[in-house]
Amino acid sequence: MLTRLVEAYLATRRAAGFALRCEGVLLKTFAAFAEAKRQSYVSSDIAIDWAGQASSLWQRARRLGAIIRFARYLRAEDERHEVPPAVFGAERQPRRAPYILTAEQIRQLVEAAARSGYRTLRRATYSTLFSLLSCTGLRVSEAIRLRFDDITPDGLLIRDTKFHKSRLVPSHETAQAGLELYLQHRRPNAPLDDHVFVSLRRKPLRLADVESAFHTAVKQAGLPHGAPRARPTPYSSRHSFAVRALQNCPDGRDAISKHMIALSTYLGHSKAARTYWYLEAVPELMRDIAERTEAFFTGGQR
């Protein structure tokens, strides 16, 4: 019974736009666990027992959080389902501070990627990919899904993004020239696949491939790569792009508002609040904000 209810719950939420890949697996595993104990309804004891089998406190909280949402959904129509208490605490970990790459560090990473691995297309693939991420702010998943037809004279067409929307990302002529130069070498290597970036297996790149290549380049470039400090990741390029865009924002309340909306749209954020998070990323931005706030209250600027 619980397995059937899980399927109905997932179908409803996915129809509303939620992917629920990991949560779907968790709930199906929980349903099998509960049914093995002859449970037809969600109970707090069974839910806590199952969630408590995870190896870390955060994983337990995440498991239980998925059941809590599921139980609330079921209880709206059947009060025999219990909503478990969040005994393992919050399921969301504190967001790690992003590592903001300087222009020199980006150059070092691109050059390191151009020297890494076999003297094959791999070097051109990752040096071009890291360059593209840095000058466009694309998500890694968006970049590796690019196909030939997505490269247009007006920019890059990003299809079916994180929030199931498509958008056009304008690109500078130098970025277009770099992509075209790469494609001249790439097309003969996997002529039956139209993905822009491919691996040595002649298949589309995977996130794991990109992460591995990026961390290799980080080490070769001499950048910090160990916990617990903030360290570069493939998404540091996106964070760095957003911060540079904010640092170049023109003065004036109206200009700033328009700039933030434009940047939020460009990055593919679902709402502008996602973009404002980048304001906390570097001291320079916070100093600029403090100076302009002081000037506003002292009558120096509007």
pLDDT in tens, 57-69: 989 999 999 999 9
Do 205 and 299 belong to one domain? yes
pTM above 0.75, yes or no: no
Report yes or no on 88 lying in a domain: no
- 239, pLDDT greater than 60: yes
Do 132 and 273 belong to one domain? yes
Tokens representing residue 140 in the block:
């890694």
Report yes or no on 205 lying in a domain: yes
Do 115 and 25 belong to one domain? no
Do 282 and 135 belong to one domain? yes
pLDDT band at 227 (very low <50, low <70, confident <90, very high): low
Do 276 and 207 belong to one domain? yes
- 180, pLDDT greater than 70: yes
Which of 75, 90, 116 is where one domain is finished? 75
pLDDT band at 300 (very low <50, low <70, confident <90, very high): low
Specify the higher pLDDT residue, 18 or 206.
Answer: 206
Report yes or no on 270 lying in a domain: yes
Which of 40, 75, 110 is where one domain is finished? 75
Residue 301 sits in a domain whose CATH number is: 1.10.443.10
Closest CA to 158 of 268, 275, 19, 241: 268
Do 195 and 59 belong to one domain? no
The mean of the pLDDT values for the chain is 87
- 281, pLDDT greater than 70: no
Tokens representing residue 61 in the block:
């909280």
Which of 75, 109, 130 is where one domain is finished? 75
Report yes or no on 271 lying in a domain: yes
- Going by C-beta distance under 8 Å and a sequence separation of 6 or more, which residues neighbour residue 103? none
Calculate what percentage of the chain has a pLDDT beyond 70: 93
Report yes or no on 84 lying in a domain: no
Do 133 and 238 belong to one domain? yes
pLDDT in tens, 136-156: 999 999 999 999 999 999 899
Do 67 and 108 belong to one domain? no
Do 255 and 205 belong to one domain? yes
Report yes or no on 20 lying in a domain: yes
Report yes or no on 85 lying in a domain: no
- Going by C-beta distance under 8 Å and a sequence separation of 6 or more, which residues neighbour residue 108? 221, 222, 223
What pLDDT was estimated at residue 1? 84
Do 102 and 46 belong to one domain? no
How far is Cα 144 from Cα 152, in angstroms, rounded to an integer? 16
Do 149 and 247 belong to one domain? yes
How far is Cα 192 from Cα 198, in angstroms, rounded to an integer? 11
Q: Which sign does the torsion angle of CA 221, 227, 228, 230 carry?
A: positive
Report yes or no on 172 lying in a domain: yes
What pLDDT was estimated at residue 265? 85
Q: How many domains does the chain have?
A: 2
Q: What is the domain extent for residue 107? A: 98-302
Do 203 and 56 belong to one domain? no
pLDDT band at 280 (very low <50, low <70, confident <90, very high): low
